[in-house]
Homo-oligomer: A and B are copies of this chain.
Amino acid sequence: MPTYQYPKSQELFRRAAGVIPGGIYGHFSPAPLVPPSAYPFFTAKAEGARFRDVDGNEFIDYMCAYGPMVMGYGAAHVEEAAAAQRRLGDCTTGAAPVMVELAEVLVDMMPAADWAFFAKNGADVTNFAIMIARDATGRSKIVMIEGGYHGTAGWMQSPGHHGVTDEDQHHVVRLPWNDVAAFEAVLDRYPNDVAAFIATPYHIPTFADSQMPAEGYWEKIQALCRRHHVVLIVDDIRQGFRLDMAGSSAYFGFTPDLTCLGCVMANGYPISALVGCEALKKSATRVCHTGSTWFQAVPMAAAKANLVKMGEINAPQVMLTRGALLFDAMVNIARTYGYDLKVTGAPSMPYVRITNDESLMLHQDWCAECTRRGAYFTPHHNWFISAAHTDADIQQTLETVDEAFSAIKSKYGTDFQN
């Protein structure tokens, strides 16, 4: 079977590079797609769990727009609700009634939610969360995990990144994941000055395996936060609604003070939410935070319809089950070729890599071979499953994976490094 070629993507990218920094920037940049020649850059049409690029190649999509798509591109229940709201109004003077209804859905659905606040980006609500924590505690320090991602504001980025100042980082303290003692040491070092602890429900470092919470980790972190009056913030923007409709904290058995949610709740319509406990509602009211399109009603209607539908089918369980099926089978196929495929994180959004080559070149080549055959796998980012991935998608993916391992084996053998 001939593998995909991307002449139109590459031509359009050259045109893009003339008028857009980097041609395509941010997390959509082709830079980490190695080799870039294996990947399409521009999407012509997306439907269900698949998309077609500008060259007409079709892919089963394991990035799901890097997370936002969870129920299939163009999912009818979302688009119908969006269209109905759009006929009434979208970005208007005055809030839409659906804002209240959506807040009520979240408050009903999530034990950690007494109220909800809506914005656009995930980073809008991680930023808001730390401002609330600072206002409520009168403290300054924010404890986060080394390699944790909460957006691209100055304080969220690693020190020394382009455009980031020392002052941006002044109150940020970074700890290793799963290290309770390190948090205790910070609480000792800054008595009465730690405003918040913020982390994802499990750790998703870039270019590295995902790491689940150790037994008792969240319970201990929660206890320390309560004892020292530190605001406990879960950044559930990536994992949210891919583990549990009640929030990933419910999945891991704890209750944060604030939870950050992303546009996965609206199947990709641009909306984020901060939900929180009653005790922080006053600070959430008096910290000034807003944006021109934060009252946009269509994404709220989309989110409301989508959350209800996801709850009805228990979409996280669908994705966890389907992901486990797929990745277990992939591990087995890898083994038949003599490769060790390591799958970490939740099966609904795993980080996958071939361990046989620490340089990751073999892994990159295997991802490229899969992608060139229609299973879109990026080499250095966690993947995403949606509830729209069908049995046929999974079957076809497994065949593609088999072919790709075969191609890799003829190139590298199994003794790449040993």
Q: Which residues of A contact B (CB under 8 A)?
A: 12, 15-16, 18-22, 24-28, 40-47, 51, 53-54, 59, 61, 63-69, 73-74, 79, 86, 88-97, 99-100, 103-104, 107, 114-117, 120-124, 127, 130-132, 134-135, 140, 151-154, 157, 161-165, 167-168, 170-171, 237, 262-263, 268-270, 281, 283-296, 376
Question: Nearest Cβ distance between residue A95 and chain B, in whole angstroms?
Answer: 5
A157 surroundings in chain B (CB, below 8 A): 288
Q: Complex: how many Å from CA A47 to CA B93?
A: 11
Residue of B nearest to A165 (CB): B140
Q: Complex: how many Å from CA A121 to CA B20?
A: 18
A291 surroundings in chain B (CB, below 8 A): 26, 120-123, 151-152
A124 touching B127 by the CB < 8 A rule?
no
| A162-B288 in contact given A16-B103, A281-B21, A293-B270 (Cβ < 8 Å) | yes
A65 surroundings in chain B (CB, below 8 A): 91-93, 292, 295
A51 touching B376 by the CB < 8 A rule?
no
Copies in the complex: 2
Q: Complex: how many Å from CA A170 to CA B379?
A: 40
B92 touching A73 by the CB < 8 A rule?
yes
Q: Complex: how many Å from CA A61 to CA B61?
A: 43
| A376-B93 in contact given A123-B291, A283-B162, A289-B152 (Cβ < 8 Å) | yes
A123 surroundings in chain B (CB, below 8 A): 291
A104 touching B66 by the CB < 8 A rule?
no
Q: Which of A40, A64, A89, A167 has the most CB of B within 10 A?
A: A89
| A94-B42 in contact given A21-B117, A100-B16 (Cβ < 8 Å) | yes
A163 touching B135 by the CB < 8 A rule?
yes
Q: Complex: how many Å from CA A291 to CA B286?
A: 26
Question: Nearest Cβ distance between residue A115 and chain B, in whole angstroms?
Answer: 5
Q: Complex: how many Å from CA A117 to CA B19?
A: 9
Which among B16, B63, B288 is the interface contact of A93 at CB below 8 angstroms? Answer: B63
Question: Nearest Cβ distance between residue A356 and chain B, in whole angstroms?
Answer: 27
Which among B15, B53, B67, B295 is the interface contact of A94 at CB below 8 angstroms? Answer: B53
A292 touching B15 by the CB < 8 A rule?
no
